[in-house]
Amino acid sequence: MKRQWWKPGVFGSVVLMITLLAPLGVAAQPPESEELPPAGMERVPGQYIVVLRDDTPDVGRAAAEIAQRVGGAVGHTYSAAVKGFVIRIPAGVEPVRLRGDRRVQFVEQDGIAQAFDHVASEIPTGVNRINAELNSTTAAGTGWGVAVIDTGIQLDHPDLNVVGNVSFVKGTKSGKDDDGHGTHVAGTVGAKDNGTGVVGVTPSVDLYAVKVLNKNGMGFWSDVIKGIDWVTQHASTIAVANMSLGGPGSDDGNCGNTNGDAVHKAICGSVANGIVYAVAAGNSTADATNYRPASYDEVITVSALADSDGQPNGTGPATSYGADDTFATFSNFGADVDEIAPGVSIRSTYIGSSYRTFSGTSMAAPHVSGAIALWIARNGRPSTGNATDPTVRQIIAESSESVVSFKGDPDGIAEPMVNADTAFVGGTGSSICCPAP
């Protein structure tokens, strides 16, 4: 469980799928993995993520030698966030044979990640509620971008500034969105302030489409890790990553080294390279401690607020997921939640150069990603993106308006409500956060 830096509260998150990022127009090779298993199956038969020891000098050589020894086929290799590779082994070959090499730290059977389904130039209510329209700072042109690790982004949407894309989903050649989830997330982060459509939290910010989920919002955890690895390789231009995706899992307090969680180990390697991660808490009305990556201490986990009018004080009409200014009824909760943001009836960009309104913690997390990007544009990026680091705790404090326990919060723990107003982003606000742990 995360160490509490403020009075308890709750935030929600949405689960998405991941793709690799690459310069716009450069296609990534599809992974060598097989088709997704049937719905409801959490593990992929015969497919494993092999995590190598950090001091392994040549990942490619190690992967080839181990695969030859067991008669397997190598898929993705990882070198930036974590050292390792994906392997498919023939039926009848015991996975314990993969561990019979001194370079192997642990082996995890591959599984399925999925987007937390959305449960069904105006300023969207969410952007209005967090006062982003009052912020004179812009992240556009600063050189720092936001990666959307999801179903991709519509690359030519007129309201989005997509500067790079990559895909790790089999059968796709770019980060083009064929589902709509990633494009919606991207618009909340950074839709242009161009007099048409909607406005994002940080208008015209550089967006990177990292496609790791397919047209049904599902994908392999091994593809997600590859997306994290790709973002880490591009840490010179990407400062923030949004992950509105997830699945079952927990935090061992040791970056996945104790419970053999390759996703967690990759996240730890990525935040060490300066990437700040905002992730959805999930939409299961459950404790986020049982979901990854929401449970990881190293990320900023976001729950969802039901807000109908973009204003505080709870005077707006009721929403489909709770009264105005209450904890969204679908949102995950718990001590692992770091911030809360609007996540009900959020209007944003969508595929087909259109706009749609959706709800979910997937819609809440990008409000925080945008606020973080604004803070970095104004103050410079932190040396580490680890959410337990004092600088990142400062970012959370200075991009939040207050600590609030919203009505309907199942656990009664209050976390900060994100606020992107200039008075807060930059350190001149009076938010309450982060006493010494």
Which are the catalytic amino acids? 150, 181, 362
- 45's enclosing H/E stretch is strand 43-52
- 146's enclosing H/E stretch is strand 145-150
The number of angstroms, rounded, from the C-alpha of 103 to the middle of its chain's C-alpha atoms is 30
Around 20, how many Cα atoms within 13 Å sit in the side-chain half-sphere?
Answer: 26
Residue 213: burial class (beta carbons within 10 Å; 0-12, 13-18, 19+): buried
**Type of residue numbered 432:** I
Residues 6+ apart with CB under 8 A from 55: none
Cis peptide leading into residue 293 (ω within 30°): yes
Residues 6+ apart with CB under 8 A from 38: none
- String of DSSP letters for 23-39: BTTPPPPPPS--PPPPT
- 183's enclosing H/E stretch is helix 181-190
The DSSP letter of residue 325 is: T
The DSSP letter of residue 198 is: B
Q: What are phi and psi of 160, to 5 degrees?
A: -130, 145
Task: Give whole-number Cα distances, 68 to 51, 79, 109, in Å.
Answer: 17, 20, 19
Q: How far apart are CA 342 and CA 368, in angstroms?
A: 10
**Type of residue numbered 111:** G
